[in-house]
Amino acid sequence: MTDDFGTGDTYKLYRSVYEIIHPTISKKNISNYKIMIQEELFPLRIFYPKKISKIEKVIIYVPGKSYLVNGITSYSDVCQEFVSITGLLVIAIDYSFDKKQGYDTVLKKAFDTIQYLYQALVRVGIDKKNIILVGDSIGASIVSQVTMLGQDNPFIEKEILLYPVLDLSLQERDKFPSIEQNSKLDLLTLNHFLKFRDSYVNKMTYRSMFDNNSYSFWPDTLLITGDLDPFRDQGVLFSKELKTNHVNIKNINIKFASHGFLNSKDQESKDECFSEIKKFIAKKKGSNN
């Protein structure tokens, strides 16, 4: 298994968000930057659409990388597909887990980076309602936790969770029948998950997304699950929790789709997924699904 996200490439030191979204010199389709927050550098990967003269909407993307899916060499293809289909600029947050950086550390860094990007994008004229926060798999876990961390001063207005893993503890496994049902079909994903959890998640400090009392601050959300994903029922149950709290949430469960299908050759599932993403991005905040 590999989680390469192009980190072998050279990263340029960040100057300003304006320079990132309005490059003044000839550019490639992808640029690598490092931004400094509180004297620490955070790597970003920028994926540009064909037309960059007037950037009005931006996707901030937290990839799942390959922690739960075997055989992925890069998430660049997924990001480029987002750009091609939506026509939007994508800012992907690079990160990695290791012995020094467990889930808590990566989550804190992701929160700082995402909050900083929102503030910087607003300063250069991007309306908050036109910033869409996206995460898949473990990336969706991070996005959901970042949203929860910001509940006292909410800044996220629209987000997309793709086959999210919302309870890394699996302490209440009986709540999620799909774990047993689909692990027979997708045992590899479950095995990767257990290895990830045991390696990087602090059981003493971790809180499941189902441990919260209220989600009334939650932004408009599109949550897409795969019917054959072991973690399908986590997304379905979380959608019901959000609806109970009157959140504008739409859950699409894609038939015959497995975990990590955006990195697969399942074009039918990918087409359905991106069709829903385009509709969600085009909707005005607060509109009915």
- 10 class by beta-carbon count within 10 Å (0-12 exposed, 13-18 middle, 19+ buried): exposed
In 3D space, the residue among 251, 227, 246 whose CA is nearest the CA of residue 286 turns out to be: 246
pTM as predicted? 0.92
- Asked whether residue 49 carries a pLDDT value surpassing 60, the answer given is yes
The predicted-structure confidence for 267-278, as pLDDT tens digits, reads as follows 999 999 999 999
Q: Provide CATH code, domain 44-282.
A: 3.40.50.1820
The ranges assigned to domains in the chain are 44-282
Interval 24-45 mean pLDDT: 78
Which range among 68-72, 196-200, 246-250 shows the weakest confidence by mean pLDDT? 68-72
Q: Is the dihedral of CA 30, 33, 37, 42 positive or negative?
A: positive
Q: How far apart are CA 200 and CA 195, in angstroms?
A: 9
Interval 35-40 mean pLDDT: 80
